[in-house]
Each structure stands twice: as structure tokens, then as C-alpha cells.
Amino acid sequence: MKMNKEIEKIIRNLGDISKSIKDKNVLVTGGAGFLGSWICDVLVEQQAKVICLDNLSSGLKSNISSMIDKDNFKFIQHDITQPIFFDEQIDMVMHLASRASPFEFEKYPIQILKANTLGIWVALGIAKKHDARFLYTSTSEVYGKAEEIPTSEEYRGNVNPVGLRSCYDEAKRCGESYVVAYRMQHDLDTRIARIFNTYGPRMRAEGVYGRVIPRFIEQALSDKPITIFGDGSQTRSFCYVTDQVEGLLRLAFLEDAEGEVINIGSEEEITILELAKLVKELTNSKSEIVFSELPEDDPPRRKPDITKAKKILNWEPKVELEEGLSKMIKWFKEKESGK
Ligand code: UDP
């Protein structure tokens, strides 16, 4: 799977917006992570000057290895919860730094809270000092166990403040509140993306980092049992990474999106049981499908209303689930064989 082709496709799909990226000084926190590194790739290719900040707690150096020697890319290993100052001009801050896997919610709840509270405070402070635009990558998790499906940006959420997922849900809600506060008090140009489940190459499968799609693919390719939590009737709507990154960059670089809060995700809803069967079929796997207990507060349904993204960003996902899964399976196989 050629990464460059995927990056070129995002740039093509961005159309005129891609031109406004050139020569911008962009700070990306969490730039070595799954989504952060894809964003850096597009920015570097479009001749932005990119500063990639990551503490490498869940991000990987290998995600940015193709950029590390480029003149318009600088990597700084730094934890965004600690102050950092820049002499050079910064035009845009994109705050992506945060662990995002439910297994990590149990293991690193404090770090997750800090990245989206202290971390966003530092990131917003940088934006304020440089009068830079600010993009925050929030999440569908701010809606919690949504009672409105598809869920629009108007929905205010149904979150358990003391549950297993609270460190993520509540921290992201607090992060949004910080963004609104900086916008109100300091008149910053801010944008909030609420990201729904996204998948694609560079997403980690192992241990605490594993989300459902990379886990199922890895299990299926090694003929190990495919592990469904609960009875598999819960749903998610999975967006392929190139679509997600295009949506995020549209929201960040579009002139007319100041102050907007926009869902970015796929409308293609599928049950986790159907997903397991599809992955099994696409990998020709002999894996059996096994069931275990559903984690606390696991949302039973998740599907975005993307009317706003369609209207304001002129964006909707293009890659269907089967196609995206096939690409990801190919990437996994190449990674395993060391290509
Ligand atoms: N899930 C599962 N088996 C796994 C991993 C996850 O059945 O090995 C389920 C999980 O309980 C949830 C859905 O798949 O209902 C999506 O999980 P993921 O960790 O990707 O993220 P979430 O959408 O819950 O934040």
C-alpha cells in the first residue's frame, strides 16, 4: 500500500483548500500519532512549515520517519502538558495530542485528563501568543451514550462523569470548554472537530493501543479468535483515515469556518458482529468468533449526523467500509512481512 498515493489523493480531494496550506507555520501536537502523522504528511507535502510535537507515549517515531529529514519538518519530543515557547511565527495550532483507546482509559486515565485540560491550556496559550488559528480534535465521546441517533452537534450528551470512560469523555468536554473560553475572552479563531470512529494504516493493534478494527484484523490474519465484547449488537460507523484527514484539514483551513463545531465521521453504521464477519471474510481467516463481557458504558449505538460537515465543509466520506478495510488489511500484511 503506497502511502504517497493516499496523501496525493487527500490533496486532490482538498481542491483549492490545499493551496492555502502552503508556507503556513503549523504546530501539530500529537503529530507522531495515527491521525497526527497523516496530517503532518499532507502539510509537509503541501509545503507548510511543520512543527510536530509528541511525547511518544502512544505515538511512534516510525510514523514520521519519512518526514524527519525534510527542511520543512521539525520534530520535538515534548509533553504538551508542560509549557513550551517558540520564537518562530505560528499560524495554526492543531491539538491532537491524547491517547484515545478505551483500553488506555483504564491504564492511563490521568495522562488522558491532563492532555485535554493542561495540554489544551498550553496549546491555546501558544495560539494566543502567536495569534494563531486553533483546531481541536474532540470526539463523538462527548455525546456519551447518545439517545439521539444519528447524533447532531446540537445534542448535549449523556455522559457518566464517574464511569470508566469519564477520563476521556469529560476531558474532551472540558477541552471544548477551554476552546470556547479562549474564543470568548481572547477572540481566538477556533474550530472544534468531533471525530467519530476512524481507522486506517498506522493505527496500532497491540495491547492497550488496540481499537476494534486493528485488533480484529490482527486476530483474523493470525487465525486467532476474534474477540467480540458483549453480543456484538452494538454499532459504530467507521470512517477511513484519508476521509477523516480531509475533513479535519477542511475545517482547519477553510476561511469561513471560524467558531464552528462539526462532526466528522461516516454514516455507514455496522454492528460489531457484522464487522467481525466482514473482517473474517476479507482475510479468508479460519478464526472463530468468541464473545466476552461488554465493558462498562460501552455506547450501544454510534452514528453521526454530518449535515453540517456536508454544508459548511462541502465534505462527506468517499471510501466505503469494505474498500477501506481491504486497504488496511493490505497495509497490515506488508507491515508483518517487513515491506
Ligand atoms: N470491541 C470488541 N472487541 C475488541 C475491541 C473492541 O468487540 O476486541 C468493541 C468495543 O466494545 C466497542 C467497539 O468494538 O463496542 C468499538 O471499540 P473501540 O475500542 O474501537 O472504540 P470505541 O468506539 O468503543 O471508542
Model confidence at 339: pLDDT above 70: no
With helix as H, strand as E and coil as C, how does the chain read? Answer: CCHHHHHHHHHHHHHHHHHHHCCCEEEEECCCCHHHHHHHHHHHHCCCEEEEEECCCCCCHHHHCCCCCCCCEEEEECCCCCCCCCCCCCCEEEECCCCCCHHHHHHCHHHHHHHCCHHHHHHHHHHHHHCCEEEEEEEHHHHECCCCCCECCCCCCECCCCCCCHHHHHHHHHHHHHHHHHHHHHCCCEEEEEECCEECCCCCCCHHHCCHHHHHHHHHHCCCCEEEECCCCCEEECEEHHHHHHHHHHHHHCHHHCCCEEEECCCCEEEHHHHHHHHHHHCCCCCCEEEECCCCCCCCCCCECCHHHHHHHCCCCCCCHHHHHHHHHHHHHHHHCCC
Is pLDDT larger for residue 320 or for residue 1?
320
Q: For cell 449505538, what's the residue?
A: 301
From 193, 199, 221, 220, select the one nearest 211 (Cα to Cα): 199
- Substitution site in 105, 211, 288, 301 for ligand 1 pocket (most atoms within 8 Å of beta carbon): 211
Q: For cell 507522531, what's the residue?
A: 32
Write down the catalytic residue from 108, 136, 168, 209. 168
With helix as H, strand as E and coil as C, how does 137-199 read? Answer: EEEHHHHECCCCCCECCCCCCECCCCCCCHHHHHHHHHHHHHHHHHHHHHCCCEEEEEECCEE
Model confidence at 338: pLDDT above 80: no
104-120: average pLDDT: 96
From 221, 310, 251, select the one nearest 92 (Cα to Cα): 251
228 forms bridges with which residues in the sheet? 291
Closest atom of ligand 1 relative to the 219 alpha carbon: 8
User: What is the pLDDT confidence band of residue 4, given thresholds at 50, 70 and 90?
Assistant: confident
User: What is the pLDDT confidence band of residue 293, given thresholds at 50, 70 and 90?
Assistant: very high
The yes-or-no answer on residue 168 being catalytic is yes
Model confidence at 246: pLDDT above 70: yes
pLDDT of residue 3: 65
pLDDT of residue 206: 92
How long, in residues, is the chain? 339
Model confidence at 121: pLDDT above 80: yes
pLDDT of residue 337: 82
Percentage of the chain surpassing pLDDT 70? 99
CB-based contact 147:107 (threshold 8 Å): no
Angstrom distances, CA of residue 242 to CA of 10, 17, 34, 128, 266:
6, 15, 11, 30, 12
Model confidence at 53: pLDDT above 90: yes
The Cα–Cα gap between 15 and 113 comes to 36
Q: Which residues contact 225 (CB under 8 A, 6 or more apart)?
A: 219, 287, 288, 289, 290
- Substitution site in 142, 145, 236 for ligand 1 pocket (most atoms within 8 Å of beta carbon): 236
Closest atom of ligand 1 relative to the 226 alpha carbon: 8
Tell the residue nearest (CA) to atom 21 of ligand 1: 211
From 203, 226, 237, select the one nearest 283 (Cα to Cα): 226
Is pLDDT larger for residue 1 or for residue 212?
212
Query: What's the 212 CA to ligand 1 centre distance in angstroms?
Result: 5
The pLDDT tens digits for 9-25 are: 999 999 999 999 999 99
From 132, 136, 3, select the one nearest 67 (Cα to Cα): 3
Query: What's the 210 CA to ligand 1 centre distance in angstroms?
Result: 9
Angstrom distances, CA of residue 49 to CA of 26, 67, 122, 124:
6, 12, 20, 19
Query: What's the 223 CA to ligand 1 centre distance in angstroms?
Result: 19
Model confidence at 2: pLDDT above 90: no
pLDDT of residue 124: 98
pLDDT of residue 1: 61
The pLDDT tens digits for 196-244 are: 999 999 999 999 999 999 999 999 999 999 999 999 999 999 999 999 9
159-180: average pLDDT: 97
The Cα–Cα gap between 176 and 183 comes to 11
Q: What is the mean pLDDT of the chain?
A: 97
> First CA to last CA across the chain, in angstroms?
10
Ligand 1 — pocket residues by CB below 6 A? 102, 197, 211-212, 215, 227-229, 234, 236, 272, 295, 298
Query: What's the 67 CA to ligand 1 centre distance in angstroms?
Result: 32
The pLDDT tens digits for 66-88 are: 999 999 999 999 999 999 999 99
191 forms bridges with which residues in the sheet? 135
